[in-house]
Amino acid sequence: MPALSILDLAPVPEGFGPGDALRNSLDLAQHAERWGYQRFWVAEHHNMIGIASAATSVVVGFLAGGTSRIRVGSGGIMLPNHSPLVIAEQFGTLASLYPGRIDLGLGRAPGTDQRTLRALRRDPAASDSFPQDVLELQALLAPAQDGQAIQAVPGAGTEVPLWILGSSLFGAQLAGMLGLPYTFASHFAPEALLPALQAYRARFEPSEQLARPHAMAGINVIAADTDAEAVRLFTSVQQQFANMVRGTRGKLQCPIADIESYWMPIEKQQASRMLHYSVVGSPETVRRGLQDFAAQTGVDELMVVSAIHDHTARLRSYEIVSQLAPALQEAPRLVA
């Protein structure tokens, strides 16, 4: 059975602010640690009023400082937005403060729109050098060599584990070639999931960090005590994705009684396509859905994403998933 991990976008619910969202994330991380989750990641997004984790390394430090065992990291840092040296220093600092607990997931997309990308003072073509930047970052986190002119301090020698994030074959092939663990963003970009996993495993070459392929995939999970309640809670996510189709962004909206009254047919089609890998329902419904997903993909970890407006309901959803772990361990793996 794959291990269970969490991707938390630090959602800002309607009626609340970023501080509330970040405190909710810490509370969730503390509960997740007690419930046995493997890792807790936050992601870099800019100019989005509904996501509070733009300063990702700062948020990782906040979460790591409030927990004691769970691995904490980025899912991910959008490397084209940054100098590899700066990221090596930031995550080297985190690894020095919280040794053995920090992950560094790396993405190639900017995590924002083109106008905001210019405000970040980054070249839109910076993503073209992503493979070279990953290698540079890896070298900066490795033990310093004699005569090395530029060192990350802190950073050198921390060997923070790198992950490659992606939603296409590019990241899968790169992760395989470099012998790094790979995470697919199937919670919002499902189309290439299975081909990407196949490409990653086929191209994998053992490295100092990793002897065999290690793949993780994102899946939206809204769990509640009844199917009906879970379906109601899921309407917050459906509204969020419908708004993305419309080209509008906002805070995480309250659930509604009838999602059909909110979106147009074309919006429903596009939002539902992005939300293809979503499991919504009671504990039994979620168990079956997660078992099917694990068997279909053969991933080593499931990265659970649960955008729920009410924080208490969000905690309950992740608690239900954690309680399903023993049953999930019995799931057959159809993919080697």
Give residue 292's pLDDT: 96
Alpha-carbon distance of 287 to 301, in angstroms, equals 15
Helix (H, G, I), strand (E, B) or coil at 227: helix
Specify the residue for token string 């590019």: 170
Alpha-carbon distance of 47 to 115, in angstroms, equals 10
Q: Which residues pair with 41 in a beta bridge?
A: 7, 73
Cβ atoms of 77 and 68 closer than 8 Å: no
Give residue 225's pLDDT: 97
CATH of domain 1-160: 3.20.20.30
Quick one: which H or E segment has residue 64? helix 56-65
Give residue 123's pLDDT: 72
Give residue 111's pLDDT: 58
Query: What are the E-state strand segments in the chain?
Result: 3-7, 39-42, 71-78, 102-107, 162-166, 182-184, 215-223, 278-281, 301-305
Alpha-carbon distance of 303 to 166, in angstroms, equals 13
Query: What are the E-state strand segments in 209-306?
Result: 215-223, 278-281, 301-305
Domain extent listing, the chain = 1-160, 220-336
Please list, residue by residue across 282-292, b when 16 or more beta carbons sit within 10 angstroms of its beta carbon and e when fewer do.
bbebbbebbbe
Tokens of 186: 């199937």
Give residue 127's pLDDT: 78
- Reading the chain (336 residues) residue by residue, the pLDDT tens digits are 699 999 999 999 999 999 999 999 999 999 999 999 999 999 999 999 999 999 999 999 999 999 999 999 999 999 999 999 999 999 999 999 999 999 999 999 865 677 777 787 677 677 789 999 999 999 999 999 999 999 999 999 999 999 999 999 999 999 999 999 999 999 999 999 999 999 999 999 999 999 999 999 999 999 999 999 999 999 999 999 999 999 998 999 999 999 999 999 999 999 999 999 999 999 999 999 999 999 999 999 999 999 999 999 999 999 999 999 887 776 555 554
Backbone angles phi, psi at 263, to 5 degrees: -115, 155
Give residue 121's pLDDT: 67
Give residue 69's pLDDT: 97
Backbone angles phi, psi at 89, to 5 degrees: -65, -45
Give residue 120's pLDDT: 77
